[in-house]
Amino acid sequence: RQALRQLDGELDHLCHGWAKTLTKALAHVEAYIDFGEDDNLEEGVLERADSQVRELELALSAHLRDARRGQRLRSGAHVVVAGPANAGKSSLVNLLSRKPVSIVSPEPGTTRDVLEIPVDLAGFPALLSDTAGLREGVGPVEQEGVRRARERLEQADLILAVLDASDLASPSSRNFLDTVVAPAGAESPNESSQRLLLVLNKSDLLPPGGPD
């Protein structure tokens, strides 16, 4: 539908409208500069120019947001699976991709580089990134994997923040909540615009009464 609208000249019409608004605002500013002390100059000229430019800024911002949504529909949203070491991220990636693309092991630090897999999520294309577990005090190779994981977090359209439900009180889980989950929630207080989804994994390991 977006392509059809562009073929019908909607984008061309928008650009001409923006140019017309900007030209009109510029004319008002020039008139104020040239005839600011002239009694014949209509009142409120500068205020109208300011209002027109602000409305144009809002229109351009809305259009750019819509363009980014269109790009995601064409090339796929970037979904990053992140969390502490051994939280079950690779198992989740294998489940979503419907094939064993990531090595799964009980040993922490198995995933050391970013593994990217194109997937189809309910009919929508996505690029799924399996990342190294976020933890400190590891060797140089795994530390590079952690750095790349944090880099992908900055680029993500959606973050699947994976935590071990049976290990929420551990230092690694608390550190992940403080350094990744809380900041992401703060940057998008509106629930509809949040780009982080918290996933509690390994619920089958919880005791019958739930976590302590």
Within 8 A by CB and 6+ apart from 45, the residues are 28, 31, 32
Phi, psi of 68 (to 5 degrees): -65, -35
Percentages helix, strand, coil for the chain, rounded to the nearest 5?
55, 15, 30
* pLDDT band at residue 163 using 50, 70 and 90 as cut-offs: very high
How many CB atoms neighbour CB 9 within 10 A? 10
Report the pLDDT value the prediction gives residue 1, as an integer from 0 to 100. Answer: 45
Q: How confident is the model over 27-43, as pLDDT tens digits? A: 888 877 777 666 666 77
* pLDDT band at residue 90 using 50, 70 and 90 as cut-offs: confident
Res. 146: pLDDT tops 50: yes
Report the pLDDT value the prediction gives residue 34, as an integer from 0 to 100. Answer: 77
pTM (2 decimals)? 0.56
Report the pLDDT value the prediction gives residue 5, as an integer from 0 to 100. Answer: 47
What burial class does residue 28 get, using C-beta atoms within 10 Å of its C-beta: 0-12 exposed, 13-18 middle, 19+ buried? Answer: buried
Mapped onto helix, strand or coil, the DSSP state of residue 191 is helix
State the Cα–Cα distance between residues 171 and 134, nearest whole angstrom: 12
Q: Which residue has the higher pLDDT, 209 or 20?
A: 20
What percentage of the chain reaches a pLDDT higher than 90? Answer: 4
Mapped onto helix, strand or coil, the DSSP state of residue 130 is strand
Q: Which residue has the tokens 């419907």?
A: 98
